[in-house]
Amino acid sequence: MDFVVFTSSPGAAVGICYGRVANNLPPPSSAVELLKSNHISNVRLFNTEPATLRSFYGAGINLMIGVPNEDLPALSSGTAATAIQWLQSNIFAHVPPNQVRYIAVGNEVFLKDPYFTPHVVPSIINLHSALRTLGLSESIKLSSPQAASVIVNTYPPSSATFDPSLQSAIVPLLQFLHDTRSPFMANVYPYISYVSEASHVSPDYALFRGGGEPVRDGALAYDNLFDASVDAFVWAMEREGFGGVEVVVAETGWPTAGGEAASAANALAFNGNVVRRAASDTGTPKRPGVGVEVYLFGVFDENEKVGEEYEKHFGIFGLDGAKAYNLSFN
């Protein structure tokens, strides 16, 4: 998936994924104009496709750029010089460094693409050395977005831990993030939790609608699954000794079709609440008043996505540029 961020000031940044797994999308140049017309000032891209990157050149949009999983072995086995060459040829040849906010090293590697797991942290370290050599290590932060399923025992959030089988990969990543003041990136989809555990998760809890008894976790109370999911990561990191690491939600969203409770009305309810809470720095019960930077998935529906039918229907905009529902990004 590729990504866009809408900023609200004050407040945490809000973004949207710009995915291109489809055969019917408008050209990237048209997508960039659409994003600009909606006052979107940050974008996450999940790969370094040159034409897409060039479309953002000088657009006034900051970028989170993904390193494809398949590029990790070469980056991890190389040197800082190898990483500099990779950055220059794959990113900085197409967009200037001052447009790059994050580099996301792989996506959901640890559980969904485990062959590449040993290559994640070495790649990050080499890229960080390269950025430091280029004088960019403070302005461009590195992380590696992970699926929510890397944590277990998430109910209640305070019991959450990282999957023990991932310990050898997670701890070095957390150490790097701590040392470089970089965020842990998590892909959080309450919709998926709802459809897979409908007997335990109410639609009101998944959609921020309240109405039921809050989930009690010691002195904390949760009235929505999004906050509980974010705080589960906070608790899990704290358990490993890294309680000060920020959480950035690198993907979240709700589909408009293709599955149970998938509708434009529900997508508006979910994404609207996510935007409002970020813009107002609501935070979570464990970290109140600390706004959660978040990226909504996605810009368009993607008709070539594989998996469940609903995966094709996360688009906030239609192919003609009209909003699928009246979501405000402020």
Q: What's the distance, CA 303 to chain centroid? A: 21
Distance of CA 11 to the CA centre of its chain: 17
Instruction: Determine the number of helices (DSSP H) and then strands (DSSP E) in the chain.
Output: 11, 14
Structure tokens, 213: 């008894």
Q: d(Cα 198, Cα 209) in Å, to the nearest integer?
A: 16
Q: Considering Cα of 82, then 88, then 89, then 92, what sign does the dihedral take? A: positive
Nearest to 295 by CA among 259, 257, 247, 256: 247
**Active-site choice (49, 70, 213, 251):** 251
**Active-site residue 293, yes or no?**
no
Has 238 been annotated as catalytic?
no
Question: How many alpha carbons fall within 13 Å on the CB side of residue 158?
Answer: 11
C-alpha angle with apex 146: 236 to 310, nearest 5 degrees? 120
Task: Tell me 307's DSSP state.
Answer: S
| 106-109 LR contacts (CB < 8 Å, sep 24+) | 106/66, 106/67, 106/68, 106/69, 106/72, 106/144, 106/145, 107/1, 107/46, 107/66, 107/69, 107/144, 107/145, 107/187, 108/145, 108/146, 108/147, 108/187, 109/69, 109/72, 109/144, 109/146
**Number of Cα atoms under 13 Å in the Cβ half of residue 154:** 23
Marked catalytic residue, from 33, 49, 70, 108: 108
Residues serving a catalytic function are 108, 251
